[in-house]
Amino acid sequence: MELQNLTYIYQSGRKKRLSKKASYPDEFFYGLSTLKNRFQNTNVIEFENSNSIFLNFFSYFLRKLSGLPFHSEQLLLSKNIKLLKNSNLIVLTNQRMGFSALPLLLINKLFKQQTSCVFVMGLYNINTKKKLKLFFRKFFTYIFLKTIDKTIFLSEGEYNYSKIKYPKMKSKFSFLPFSIDTQFWNSNKNIDQIKNNILFIGNDGMRDYKFAIEIAKNMPDYQFTFITKNITKEDLNSNNVELISGLWSEETLTDSDIKNLYNKSSLTIIPIKESLQPSGQSVALQSMSMGVPVIITKTNGFWEPDIYVDEKNIIFAEKNNIEEWTKKIYSILNNVEQYKEISISAKKTVQENNNLENFNNELLKILFN
């Protein structure tokens, strides 16, 4: 492959950060800063609204037919099509970008030598029992995996499942643990003094928002901070919650603001629903890198079960049960020695295993070896 044109496709929130001088973590750019050094030209595309009646109908039809995230009307604008046609490598930063680009990628396969790469998380989340929709979902998922040259799974469970489900395509599949900018997510705070400040942050569909509200209701002596757009003041039924409406892509809070909130917190809770999707991954890693222990629901989609061990560098809850969660929260926040051990071990594990240097080196191997 001639290293000439590289194109990264994101949903939103990246161009704004790239244009600013303010400090920001590099993890949600998925290797852009490393890969661009190998190409003469680099393009960054983000989703935007389109007035195309045909593309809007086309995408809506495919979404209704399959339940998959086809949003081609937000990507296949005339100004983007030329860039994508002339790209030697296209990096799609999640499956929403992948399915939206799929019509053009299929055409490009016929006329141009081009490499495409997609990062995947939660590809097999199925929320329908309708047989026809399930059929088309499986059909388009197969076409998606068949068309794209490199599929990178951020969850080991989903990666292993894919190799079993599609054994003839397993050579195209790779597992690359999501990693964070550990230089940004770093703190020198004193962990000898444990406070009762508990953080909940996130907006993805696998978070158990109702259960997070119940935890706060059942622990009135603790102060909670919720950063999310999926909970409203009307949803809350306790007075010990500070609710901040936050969405990373809209930068309602800056990355430095979020860092400061981690720094003020003693514990991060991540109750999630059962799924193969590695929900809560970025929040957990950021929090642990800051020295703030994490309690998270143990699901099949947990990203690296061999590295993160219960009560060693993370705390797992088997189910979203109030008695289990409150007991674990009370326990960790009232045992100074255990708290310090988990905090130090969690930070060390993230910084050694989930740092961007490892991520970028592995990404280069996947794409060019």
Nearest CA to 8 out of 49, 43, 47 is that of 43
- What is the overall mean pLDDT for the chain? 92
**In the chain, which residues fall in CATH 3.40.50.2000?**
5-179+355-368, 197-353
**Taking a C-beta distance cutoff of 8 angstroms, is the pair 279, 207 a contact?**
yes
Rounded-to-integer distance, Cα 284 and Cα 346, Å:
10
Q: What is the CATH class of 5-179+355-368? A: alpha beta
* Residue 19, token pair as written in the block: 């244009």
13 Rama class: left (phi>0) / alpha (psi -120 to 50) / beta: left
Nearest CA to 159 out of 281, 296, 278, 11 is that of 278
The pLDDT-based confidence of 2 (bands split at 50, 70, 90) is low
Over residues 98-113, the mean pLDDT reads 92
Task: Express each pLDDT in 247-296 by its tens digit.
Answer: 777 777 888 999 999 999 999 999 999 887 778 899 999 999 999 999 99
Task: Express each pLDDT in 20-57 by its tens digit.
Answer: 777 789 999 999 999 999 999 999 999 998 888 999 99
What CATH number was assigned to the domain covering residues 197-353? 3.40.50.2000
Predicted structure pTM score: 0.89
Query: Residue 151: in which H helix or E strand, if any?
Result: strand 150-153
What are the respective helix, strand and coil percentages of the chain, to the nearest 5? 45, 15, 40
